[in-house]
Each structure stands twice: as structure tokens, then as C-alpha cells.
Amino acid sequence: METFFSPSNPRCLVIAEVAQTHDGSLGQAHAFIDAAAGAGADAIKFQTHIASAESTPAEQFRIKFSRQDASRYDYWKRMEFTEAQWRGLADHAKESGLHFLSSPFSMEAVDLLERLNMAAWKIASGEIDNTPMLKRLAATGRPVILSTGLGNWQDIDRAVALVKNGTAPLGVLQTTSMYPTPAEHVGLNVLAELRQRYGCTVGLSDHSGTIFPGLAAYSLGGRLLEVHLTLSRQMFGPDVSSSLTVEELAQLVTGLRFLEKTHGHPVDKNAASEHVQNMRRLFGKSVVARRKMAAGTFISADDVTLKKPGGGVSPDKMEMLYGRKLLRAVEPDEAIGDNDVDPKLT
């Protein structure tokens, strides 16, 4: 993963975020891995919830969406997988060529995920002030990716300082915790500030449910991109409206890989490549005779015009031929070259 985790690396690390869209189904969770791999993502990310370790029964629903869970606590409980099941998901991801990631929401979740030897830690926005967790994750030396949706600059400064106090490489994501995020709240302008402020890899955790912010973020220097994934717009759960479909994720990845090539091959407009020269001959124009002219004719504006193909005297030099003597006879539509006229004016 560290291969991609660099501000100077042109490749963008694409993280497909499942969150709770598997709705507690282990089979669905595995299906997401296959879908993300097929769409070309680099990593698959889940959330590891252990209800008794992270919540109390008093926790309120952000949106009361569930018809089967009486409380948010009950919902988290239903989202739990056993350690063996998490290991199975991690192994499946690796077999599919994906990095396996999952955000911890308690120290117990950190313990579980650490035993899975994840390539990096992803810190959810709600944990940005969880100092004990940040210190512990930074101390592992594994890369830390920090979402910032629920933090102001003071919160982010403190979290970044905690991570940088360890040995872990750092990535910071501009995040807007609105589901879905309207265009006017995506905050692409923040990427430049993050890069300047922290001197680290930056990127976007996008909740817009479209491919456009991710493409724009890459062109603005983002090298980490997290997007929510759904297998269908008709799936159940609070994250579906802010997610990409599998087909949209594939389109996004295709676009990013195209942009990576454009950034990796800067064009010098002053370099006259063979392709440009050939195209100018094909689409350009040359000075040609309007009529049959004998050798010794002094050329006037009425004697010449511009026609395709290029390769002869170019249009910008046509007026330089006026008043000069033809050194050979020419036919109508015949190109007039530099060597066909006396270099001296009349």
C-alpha cells in the first residue's frame, strides 16, 4: 500500500467503502469484495463495530431508517462479525488483489483488526478527537488515513500532530459529513490547504454519490480517494444515497487511470513532434497558384491563394511572396515553394 501512499506518486489509491451497506450479511460483504475488485478499486473498506465496546443503548439514530432495530445499539449489534468472519473477508480481499481496510470504532475493534495485520488504518471522522486511539494507531507504524468531516482546523491540527508524533505515514482526506453531499459542500478547495498545512498525502472522502468530485480531486493533487459503494440503488441502508454503483465505480477508476497518464506525460507545445508535423501537412494549407504563370512573373496577391495540403509555403508567409519573381513556370493549384521565387524583391 505504501507504494501508492505518496504525494509525489501520480497513482491515486481508490478505496471502495462498504460501510454498513452489507446490512449485517456476511454473504453480501463478500459480494462487495468481488464487485470492488471487478470495478478496479485498489482497496475495500468496511467498518468494524462492536456494540458493547463503542456505544450505549442511549445512542440516537442519525436517521431512523431501520424497521427491525429498536435502537442504534441494536443496529450496531446486528452489524457485528466474528473475528473469524473478519479474517475470512480480509483473506478474500487479498485473494482478489485488494487491500483490506476497516475503520475501528473502539479499542476492542483496534485489537481485532491489528491481529488481521491490515495495511493501513482508516480513521472515521467521528474519531478525530479520540486521542487514545490515534496515539495507539500511530504507534503501530502503519499508514494512517484520517477523515476530517467532523473536525475544524483545530481538531485536524491536533489529530495530525498526534499521528506525526509516531512513525506512521499520514494521509488526510477532505470530508463533508452530509449524505449525499451537494456540490456546493464538497470542498475541493480544502485539498490545497491540507497539502500546504501538513505536507502529506491528501485526498477526498466523497459522499456525493457521483464520480465527478473524485476526478476533480485527482486533478487538484488528491492521491487518495474513498467512495461509498452499493450493489444497487435499491439496496437498504443509510449510505446508499451517497454511494456509487459498481458500474459508476468502474467508470470512475477508468477516468482516474486516464488522468494519471495525462499527468505522467506532460506535453511541450514547443516540441514539433513528427505527429504534429504530419498533421499540419494534412490539415494545413500552402500557397498555390491561382492561374498558370510563366517563369519571370512577378507575384501579386491576385496570383496566389491558400489551399490544402500543407507542406509548402505556409499561410503566414504568403505576403512575403508579393513582388517576387517566379523562377519557374507553375500550373493552377500548384504549390509554390521557397526555391521557386527570387529571394529579392522587385
Burial class (CB in 10 A: 0-12, 13-18, 19+), 88: middle
Chain-centroid distance, C-alpha 344: 59
C-alpha separations of 123 from 26, 75, 159, 286, 318 in Å:
23, 21, 10, 63, 66
pLDDT tens digits along 208-222: 999 999 999 999 999
- Grid cell 483488526 — which residue? 113
Give the Cα separation of 16 and 101 in Å (integer). Answer: 10
pLDDT confidence tier of residue 3, bands split at 50, 70 and 90: very low
Percent of the chain residues past pLDDT 90, beyond the cut = 80
- Grid cell 435502537 — which residue? 71
- Grid cell 475470512 — which residue? 88
For residues 129, 134, 135, 137, the Cα torsion angle rounded to the nearest 10 degrees is: 170
Give the Cα separation of 341 and 323 in Å (integer). Answer: 10
Give the Cα separation of 298 and 325 in Å (integer). Answer: 4
Closest CA to 262 of 88, 33, 12: 12
User: Which strand (E) or helix (H) includes residue 17?
Assistant: strand 13-19
Every domain of the chain and the residues it spans: 13-264, 274-345
102 touches 86 (CB < 8 A): yes
Taken in order 296, 301, 307, 309, the sign of the CA dihedral is positive
The set of cell numbers assigned to 86 is 473478519
Give the Cα separation of 15 and 13 in Å (integer). Answer: 6
pLDDT tens digits along 11-59: 999 999 999 999 999 999 999 999 999 999 999 999 999 999 999 988 7
Q: What is the total residue count of the chain?
A: 346
* CB contact set of 155 (below 8 Å; sequence gap of 6+): 128, 129, 148
Q: What is the CATH number of domain 13-264?
A: 3.20.20.70
Give the Cα separation of 12 and 149 in Å (integer). Answer: 20
Read off the pLDDT of each residue in 319-340 and give the average, rounded to a whole number. 94
- Amino acid in the structure at residue 49: H
C-alpha separations of 336 from 4, 142, 273, 344 in Å:
56, 70, 25, 16
Q: Which fold has domain 274-345?
A: Type Iii Antifreeze Protein Isoform Hplc 12 (3.90.1210)
CA atoms within 13 A on the CB side of 334: 13
C-alpha separations of 231 from 34, 42, 145, 245, 248 in Å:
11, 17, 25, 6, 10
Give the Cα separation of 211 and 209 in Å (integer). Answer: 7
* H-assigned helices in 223-327: 246-264, 274-283
Give the Cα separation of 227 and 328 in Å (integer). Answer: 70
- Asked whether the predicted pLDDT for residue 2 surpasses 50, the reply is no
pLDDT tens digits along 292-315: 999 999 999 999 999 999 988 999
Average pLDDT, the chain: 93
Phi, then psi, of 269 in degrees rounded to 5? -65, -15
What per-residue confidence (pLDDT) applies to 272? 66
pLDDT tens digits along 66-83: 778 778 888 899 999 999
pLDDT tens digits along 175-205: 999 999 999 999 999 999 999 999 999 999 9
Q: What 3-state class would DSSP assign to 196?
A: helix
pLDDT tens digits along 132-176: 999 999 999 999 999 999 999 999 999 999 999 877 889 999 999
Give the Cα separation of 206 and 218 in Å (integer). Answer: 12
Give the Cα separation of 31 and 82 in Å (integer). Answer: 18
